[in-house]
Amino acid sequence: MLTAPLTIWAIPGIPEIVTGDDLAEVIGQREIDLRDGDILAVTSKIVSKAEGRFVQADDRDQAITDETVRVVATRGMTRIVENRLGIVGAAAGVDGSNTPVGTVLLLPLDPDASAAALRAALEARFNVRLGVIITDTLGRAWREGQTDVAIGSSGVRVLDDLRGTLDAQGRRLDVTVPAVGDEIAAAADLVKGKSEGLPVAVVRGVGHLLDPEAPGARVLTRTGPNDMFRLGSDEAYAEGFAAGKASHGQGV
Amino acid sequence: MLTAPLTIWAIPGIPEIVTGDDLAEVIGQREIDLRDGDILAVTSKIVSKAEGRFVQADDRDQAITDETVRVVATRGMTRIVENRLGIVGAAAGVDGSNTPVGTVLLLPLDPDASAAALRAALEARFNVRLGVIITDTLGRAWREGQTDVAIGSSGVRVLDDLRGTLDAQGRRLDVTVPAVGDEIAAAADLVKGKSEGLPVAVVRGVGHLLDPEAPGARVLTRTGPNDMFRLGSDEAYAEGFAAGKASHGQGV
C-alpha cells in the first residue's frame, strides 16, 4: 500500500507585515518552491495586518463588543462569544499580542475572500494549483489548551465528507466528516509556532483535498438550531430559572 | 532562520489486529526506520482491539451507559456524555465501525498506560527515544465535522505551555497553551484516514516536544469547575426552569 508522506514547513524570513502589504508579493519573494496540490496555511494575524485591521488598544473592550454577535458565556474576565464570522471563542478574535504597542487587531473582514484573493495571486505567480487556509487559535469546550483552526479557506475541501463510503467490513461510515481544514491548520501550527515570526507554512501531500469549487471555511462553523451549546450552562440555567419563577401562577 | 520540516507518514501493511496481539511486535515487524524524537500516533481502535475491548453489538446502548460518567446533552439519538476518561463526546467512545460484525468496541481501559507500555517496548526494540500518542475522533461544540485528538500519550508534552514567554514586542503570551498533543493527532489523521487500514503514523520533526516525564493525555480533558459547558443549553435551562418554579413562594 502506497502512503504518501505529508510534509509541512514554515516559510522563513517573512518580514513584519504592515497595512497595505501585498501578501502574495511578500510570500512570493521568499525562496519557495510551490507545487501543484500544495496548501498554504497563513496565520490570520498577518492577513489582518495587511488589511489594516488595527484599532486602539484602549478600545479593546469596545472592539470585542463590536465584533460580538451574541454572548455565549461569561466567567470573570473571560467572554465566550459568537463573532460576526460565526466563530465561537474568547474575545471575538480581538488580538493583543504581537501587535504594535497601543493597538489590538481584529480578524480579517472576510477571511474566505482574503484566502481566495491570495490563492488567485499565488496561483498566477507560480503557475500551480494551490489551496489557501487562513488560521486562528481557538480554545475548545471540555479540552484544555488551544488549537489552530481554519477561519478562511479557498480551493480546499475543509470538510471531507466520508458519509456513504464503506468501512473494511462494508458498513457505511455514516457519521464521519473529518474537519480536514481544521486538521491542516492544527498541523501547520506545529511548525509555525506562536512567537517566532513564522506566519506561513506550506503543507504538501494532501493535494487530494484540493477543489477549486469548495466552499470556504465558513462551513466549519456551527451555529443556530444544530448548536446544543448556544449558551453556557450557568447562563442557560439562569434564563431557565427566571422563566420558571415567572411561570408560577400562570398555569404553566 | 532554520525551520525544520515536519514529516508524517502512515506505516503500511499493519494487519487486522485481534485480541492479544502485541502492538509493539506488530509495528516493529513493519519496515520502519524510527529515529530519536519520532512520535507514533496510534489509532485507539487498534489498541482497544489488542486489549480485547469488544462487547456484543446488541448491548451497544448498555455499553454507552456503562462508559458514561455523566450525560451532558441529549438530542434525538445523540447522547453527548462525559466518559470515564473525562472525555466529552458522542456515544462515550463506543465504536461500531470497522469492528467484527456483531460487536462494538470500547475505548482502551487506560490509554495513557497503553501508550506508556507501547513506548517502552518500541524504545527498547529500536533503541531510540520516542513519544506515543493514542488518538480518537471527536466532534466539537460550535464546529462542524470531527478531528482526531490525543486520548492517551507517553513521553510527549501534550500541552506546550507558552505562558511567560514573550512575543516579538516583549509582551507576555500569557494565555496561549497550544494543545500540541491534539494538533499532532489531527496532523496524523490527515495521512491515516478512516477506512484505509492505516492505523499508525510516524510524526517526525517535533522532537522538541519529547519529555519522558510528561503527564499523559488526561491533562487535556477539562471537566469540573473550569467547564463552562457541563450541560447542554436546553438541559441547563430545563434544570433552571424547574428550580425557578419550585423557588416561588419560598422567599427566593
What are the cell numbers at A58? Answer: 484602549
Instruction: Specify which residues A105 forms β-bridges with.
Output: A54, A95
Q: How confident is the model over B127-151, as a mean pLDDT? A: 97
Sorting pLDDT into bands at 50, 70 and 90, what band is B162? Answer: confident
| CB within 8 Å: B177 and A12 | no
Helices (H), A127-208: 180-192
Residue scoring higher pLDDT (B103 or B158): B158
Provide the pairing of β-strand A200-204 with A6-10. Answer: antiparallel
A40 in B contact zone (CB under 8 Å): no
- Percent of chain B topping pLDDT 90: 76
- In chain B, positions 130-189, which contact chain A (CB-CB < 8 Å)? 137, 140-149, 159-160, 162, 165-169, 171, 173, 175-180, 182-184, 186-187, 189
- Identify the pLDDT of residue A250: 64
**Nearest-CB residue to B245 (from A222, A229, A244):** A244
- In chain B, positions 112-141, which contact chain A (CB-CB < 8 Å)? 137, 140-141
Sorting pLDDT into bands at 50, 70 and 90, what band is A252? Answer: very low
Q: What is the pLDDT of residues B215-238, one digit of tens each?
A: 999 999 999 988 999 999 999 999
For residue B80, give the H/E element and its range: strand B78-83
A103 in B contact zone (CB under 8 Å): no
- Identify the pLDDT of residue B97: 79
- Spatial CB neighbours of B81, under 8 Å, sequence gap ≥ 6: B64, B67, B68, B69, B70, B71, B72, B88, B89, B90, B91, B92
Q: CA-to-CA distance for A133 and A209, rounded, in angstroms?
A: 12
Q: State the average pLDDT for chain A.
A: 91
- In chain A, positions 65-84, which contact chain B (CB-CB < 8 Å)? 73, 75, 80, 82
What are the cell numbers at B175? Answer: 494565555
Phi, psi (degrees; rounded to nearest 5) at A76: 55, -130
**pLDDT at residue A168 tops 80:** no
| CB within 8 Å: A145 and B173 | no
Q: What is the pLDDT of residues B55-95, one digit of tens each?
A: 988 878 889 999 999 999 999 888 999 999 999 999 889 98
Phi, psi (degrees; rounded to nearest 5) at A173: -85, 75
Q: For residue A140, list chain B residues with Cβ-Cβ distance below 8 A.
A: 140-141, 179
- Identify the pLDDT of residue A193: 72
Name the DSSP letter for residue B221: B
| CB within 8 Å: A197 and B168 | yes
Instruction: Specify which residues B68 forms β-bridges with.
Output: B83
For cell 428550580, name the residue: B243
| CB within 8 Å: B182 and A9 | no
CB A68 within 8 A of CB A81: yes
**pLDDT at residue A170 tops 80:** no
Q: What is the pLDDT of residues A108-154, one digit of tens each?
A: 999 999 999 999 999 999 999 999 999 999 999 999 999 999 999 99
Least confident of A5-19, A58-72, A218-232, B112-126: A58-72
**pLDDT at residue B252 tops 60:** no
What do you get for the CA distance between the two ends of chain A, in Å? 64
Sorting pLDDT into bands at 50, 70 and 90, what band is B249? Answer: low
Q: What is the largest CA-CA distance in chain A?
A: 74
- Identify the pLDDT of residue B121: 97
**pLDDT at residue B1 tops 60:** no
Helices (H), B141-201: 180-192
| CB within 8 Å: B194 and A173 | yes
**pLDDT at residue A200 tops 50:** yes
Q: What is the pLDDT of residues B167-213, one digit of tens each?
A: 666 666 557 899 999 999 999 999 997 666 899 999 999 999 999 99
Q: CA-to-CA distance for B130 and B152, rounded, in angstroms?
A: 14
For cell 479557498, name the residue: A154
User: Judging by beta carbons within 10 Å of its beta carbon (0-12, 13-18, 19+), is residue B208 exposed, middle or buried?
Assistant: exposed
* Cα A59 to Cα A62, A64, A80, A94, B94, distances in angstroms: 5, 9, 18, 11, 48
**pLDDT at residue B251 tops 80:** no
Q: CA-to-CA distance for A57 and A103, rounded, in angstroms?
A: 4
**Nearest-CB residue to B183 (from A13, A186, A246):** A186
Q: For residue B177, list chain A residues with Cβ-Cβ distance below 8 A.
A: 144-146
CATH of region B7-53+107-221, choose from 3.30.1330.100, 1.10.150.120, 2.70.170.10, 3.10.20.30: 3.30.1330.100
Q: How many CB atoms lie within 10 A of CB B185?
A: 35
Phi, psi (degrees; rounded to nearest 5) at B191: -105, -25
Q: Between A and B, how many CB-CB pairs are < 8 A?
A: 323
Q: CA-to-CA distance for B90 and B68, rounded, in angstroms?
A: 10
- Give the domain ranges of chain B: 7-53+107-221
| Least Cα separation, residue A123 to chain B (angstroms) | 23
Assembly ipTM: 0.94
pTM, full prediction: 0.94
* Residue closest to A177 by CA, chosen among B119, B194, B5, B20: B194
CB A46 within 8 A of CB A17: yes
* Residue closest to A38 by CA, chosen among A235, A163, A203, A152: A203
Q: CA-to-CA distance for A178 and B149, rounded, in angstroms?
A: 12
Q: At what angle do helices A233-247 and B233-247 cross, to 10 degrees?
A: 40
Q: For residue B222, list chain A residues with Cβ-Cβ distance below 8 A.
A: 141-144
With vertex at residue B201, the alpha carbon angle to CA A215 and CA B112, rounded to the nearest 5 degrees, is 105
B237 in A contact zone (CB under 8 Å): yes
